[in-house]
A = this chain, B = another copy of it.
């Protein structure tokens, strides 16, 4: 089992509407990508200084399933149309359970 973790930081100009559109776009992916297991996305609660703005935690049965998700056109569309326009920084990791 693979856990894929991504933390995103938005530009200062990003609007609440644009940030909400990212969450909405990603939340539609489980219905479009059957290889995607448990999928958690959400806005940072701002409990601490210096945190990222958005987090994604996704579970996959295998590295191949992760790669299917990573390269899936529906995922790439959310990245290109909703994430990239407001993206300031990205850090990710994949770990094995």
Say which residue of B47, B52, B95 sits within 8 Å of A91 (CB atoms): B52
The verdict on A92 contacting chain B, using a C-beta distance below 8 Å, is yes
Q: Contact residue range for chain A?
A: 20 to 34
CB distance from A50 to the nearest CB of B (A): 8
CB contact under 8 A between A92 and B48, given known A5-B7, A55-B3, A57-B3? yes
A3 to B47 CA separation, bound complex (whole angstroms): 12
Q: Spot the interface stretch: A27-35, A37-45, A75-83.
A: A37-45
Query: What residues of B have a CB within 8 angstroms of the CB of A12 in the complex?
Result: none
The verdict on A11 contacting chain B, using a C-beta distance below 8 Å, is no
Which residue of B is nearest A45, CB measured? B94
Query: What residues of B have a CB within 8 angstroms of the CB of A44 in the complex?
Result: 93-95
Interface residues of A (CB under 8 A from B): 2-3, 5, 7, 40-45, 47-48, 50-55, 57, 63, 66, 91-97
